[in-house]
Structure 1
Amino acid sequence: MNASIDNGTTTQTWDGEQPFHRALFETLESAANVAVTEIEPVYETIDVESLERFITNSSSNDIFTAFSYGGCYVEIQGDGTITVTPFRQIDPK
């Protein structure tokens, strides 16, 4: 799994070779430049197991979910693409 970084946004696609939560944490850490152990537990924000089932049972880019976590906007697409943008990088225009 390779991450790409563009203007502060980090994107990578979960390929199922590692647990989903690990891919999510790696993407968050890369985008926010902080260890996930230094911010609130992700399980207080979203049910990661349900999110993994959502991705596993979908193959469409048309289906996605989004949430805020650790000062970032997180979007997960049905094909396993994880995109994380720190709020400081979002242009309000």
Structure 2
Amino acid sequence: MESNESPHNRYEVGDEEATVAVVTAVAQEEGRDPLDLPPLYGTIDPDVLEAVARSEVGDEYWVAFSYCGYRVEVKSTGTVTVTP
């Protein structure tokens, strides 16, 4: 049985800022230098993105948005998922 899920890749925010993690993840998917991508702040408020990625509240929070033709999801667990 075939899966209906699209291929995706997961990245961890780690010690870097969530905005840097997102741009780096999309650049890796594109095979491009992160500096060649458009500014992320034109797509989503960096403060909101960082707040979600660093949330320490018991519930899991996430935000999803489109960036450079990818669906990007950032979870409060520090996971970035990039889906074409």
**Of 19, 25, 28, which residue of structure 1 is paired with 2:26?**
28
Runs of 4+ in 1 over 4 A off after TM superposition: none
Q: 1:38-93: per-residue Cα shift (whole Å, max 9, x none)?
A: 3432111001122111221236674211000101010111101000112xxxxxxx
Q: How far is the alpha carbon of 1:10 from its aligned partner? A: 2.1
Q: Percent identity?
A: 27
Work out the CA distance in 1 between the residues paired with 2:58 and 2:33.
30
The match for 1:10 is 9
TM-score relative to the length of structure 1: 0.68
What is the RMSD of the two structures over their aligned residues, measured on CA atoms?
2.2
TM-score relative to the length of structure 2: 0.74
Segments of 5+ residues of structure 2 without an aligned counterpart are 1-5
